[in-house]
Amino acid sequence: MTEQKQFRAIKGTRDIQPPDSTLWNWFEQSARDVFESYNFREIRLPIFEETSLFARSVGGETDIVSKEMYSFPDRSTSSDATADAGDLISLRPEATASTMRAYIEHGMHALPGNVKLYYMGPMFRRERPQKGRYRQFYQIGAEVLGQSDAPAIDAEVIEMLMTFFSRVGLIRTTLYINSIGDKNCRPQYVELLRAELRKVKDQLGADSQRRIETNPLRVLDSKIPQEQEIIAKLPKISEHSCDACREHFAKLKEELKLRGVSYQENWRLVRGLDYYTRTTFEVIAEGLGSQNAVCGGGRYDGLVELLGGPPTKGIGFAIGTDRAILSIQESGNLPKLPGLDVFVAWLGLEAYPTAVGLTKKLREAGLSVELPGEEMKFKKSLNLADKLGARYALIIGSDEVATGRFTLKRLADADQKKLSEYELLEYLESERRGTRG
Ligand code: ATP
Ligand code: MG
């Protein structure tokens, strides 16, 4: 026989297996519950888009677009021979661009009120894989689009985010907020920053030196120890923002206080994406080492217009699901999640039809039930039930079939009851309601 190749998941990708997948589903469902309570609705977006959509919105100078995207020419699917053969498409590195594209494409600006959307799913960035950093990772994001840029909208979005985090037990977090100005005041500040940075250029590393010209704001983001002292002395945007931006930020802080959301200001929080204006925010969590940002967000007034849509204000965030879940796991603050409720230990072929019928009823009642397809020795059966983590074994032998009373054994303490079918369903259902809230 020839030796078989052992296939492995591609570097930077991974399988989310049970029981982790149960935790993931619970996490995502909690997001749906919280977001929908704020009247956000889901948008399901494609996983690939035209490369130029990301280049235009995220920004060609960003790390994401300049070096992290998975892009490839698509074979032309059009039968029209004159159509461009091989448009460049990319796996999405984030989903705000797609959301904007969809907003414009479907004329959502005509919808009443603010358009409040959320999404979840995989994103792709070609980065160096490490703990909390993958090439296929997952985000849950939300966006508000409309005519208003009221600070209350920013505050509600942030409140919703922090409510979700506390709902899923992600509580040892810090919320950082900042305002990075708008098109009226940011350009002057950026020029000022650039001028100041040129003066200290020699003391900066290669990346920061390059950013002085390409994107000076990003220098503020630097984590390089030797640069910290220099950055601390740079001019702060808050000292150079226009009245409108200043007022917007002050109102946002008032609103956050009103809503009981605690935050810290961080004037160096500029975020990596080009499209942000005014409010930016980030949440960091414990237990993640240096990959500790679990959410990034901000306001992006003007992005819709940049993509050819009508003047629109917008704000949103993206949660890094992988990291958020890692942090919950590290904290040990895990929820009690549903597992296998009942293992049906049937004995003797004459018990099998009863076992099949009863299993069906239990499943219809919403319980998770395992029914062995082949006869097993009693001891082996109970052993397997135990190993599978079943809470109960339901014993069905010829006695039980004859009397119509079944033995329900709680595996944790071997407590045993004889119950009729009606009592059994009644008991398990009420018990489940109790343990699962
Ligand atoms: P970082 O500075 O950690 O690279 P980022 O600024 O690139 O983050 P955003 O583009 O704002 O991140 O994405 C929002 C969130 O998505 C991040 O806070 C993080 O939790 C998560 N995230 C980003 N890139 C990855 C990745 N490669 N693997 C896992 N999670 C990621
Ligand atoms: Mg990044």
Same-domain check for residues 396 and 318? no
Tens-place pLDDT, residues 52-82: 999 999 888 788 998 999 999 987 655 554 5
Residue 91 falls inside a structural domain? yes
Q: Looking at residues 328-351, what average pLDDT do you find? A: 94
Of 217, 295, 299, best ligand 1 pocket probe by most atoms within 8 Å of the beta carbon:
295
Residue 262 falls inside a structural domain? yes
**Atom 19, ligand 1: residue with shortest CA distance:** 320
Query: Phi, psi (5° rounding) for residue 238?
Result: -60, -25
What residue numbers bound the domain in which 414 lies? 342-436
Q: Which residue has the tokens 């594209």?
A: 101
Q: What is the pTM of this model?
A: 0.93
Which ligand has the shortest distance to the CA of 272?
A: 1
Task: Kindly state the DSSP code that residue 175 receives in the 8-state scheme.
Answer: E
pLDDT over threshold 80, residue 312: yes
Q: Please report the pLDDT score of residue 421 as a whole number.
A: 96
Same-domain check for residues 68 and 88? yes
Same-domain check for residues 165 and 274? yes
Residue 88 falls inside a structural domain? yes
Q: Looking at residues 298-313, what average pLDDT do you find? A: 95
Which ligand has the shortest distance to the CA of 285?
A: 1
pLDDT over threshold 50, residue 437: no
Same-domain check for residues 307 and 346? no
Tell me which residue of 227, 223, 216 sits closest to 189, measured CA to CA: 216
**Atom 11, ligand 1: residue with shortest CA distance:** 296
Residue 76 falls inside a structural domain? yes
pLDDT over threshold 80, residue 172: yes
Bridge partner residues of 130 (DSSP): 133
> Percent of the chain at pLDDT above 70?
96
Tens-place pLDDT, residues 205-217: 999 999 999 889 9
**Taking the C-alpha atoms of 396, 400, 401 and 406 in order, what is their torsion angle to the nearest 10 degrees?**
-70
**Atom 7, ligand 1: residue with shortest CA distance:** 272
Q: For the domain that residue 35 is a member of, what is the CATH number?
A: 3.30.930.10
Of 11, 14, 69, 123, best ligand 1 pocket probe by most atoms within 8 Å of the beta carbon:
123
Residue 193 falls inside a structural domain? no
DSSP 361-425: HHHHTT--EE--SS---HHHHHHHHHHTT-SEEEEE-HHHHHHTEEEEEETTT--EEEEEHHHHH
Q: Tell me how far apart the alpha carbons of residues 15 and 10 are, in angstroms, rounded to a whole number.
A: 10
For residue 300, how far is its CA from the centre of ligand 2 (angstroms)? 18
More confident residue, 300 or 437: 300
**Atom 26, ligand 1: residue with shortest CA distance:** 133
The answer to whether residues 361 and 355 touch, using CB atoms and an 8 Å cutoff, is no
Q: Please report the pLDDT score of residue 71 as a whole number.
A: 96
Q: Please report the pLDDT score of residue 133 as a whole number.
A: 96
pLDDT band at 428 (very low <50, low <70, confident <90, very high): very high
Same-domain check for residues 274 and 402? no
Q: For the domain that residue 396 is a member of, what is the CATH number?
A: 3.40.50.800
Same-domain check for residues 373 and 315? no
The total number of structural domains in the chain stands at 2
Q: Looking at residues 358-362, what average pLDDT do you find? A: 97
- Domain end: 269, 300, 331, which one? 331
**Atom 12, ligand 1: residue with shortest CA distance:** 296
* Amino acid (1-letter code) at residue 275: Y
Same-domain check for residues 311 and 162? yes
Same-domain check for residues 397 and 378? yes
For residue 293, how far is its CA from the centre of ligand 1 (angstroms)? 7
DSSP 49-118: EEHHHHHHHH-TTSHIIIII--EEEPPP--S-TTSPSS-EEEE-S-SHHHHHHHHHHTTGGGSSS-EEEE
Same-domain check for residues 164 and 312? yes
The CA–CA distances, whole Å, from 261 to 105, 156, 258, 268, 311 equal 35, 10, 8, 21, 30
**Which residues contact ligand 1 via a Cβ below 6 A?**
94, 125, 127, 132-134, 137, 139, 272, 291, 293-296, 318, 320, 322-323
**Atom 8, ligand 1: residue with shortest CA distance:** 293
pLDDT band at 388 (very low <50, low <70, confident <90, very high): very high
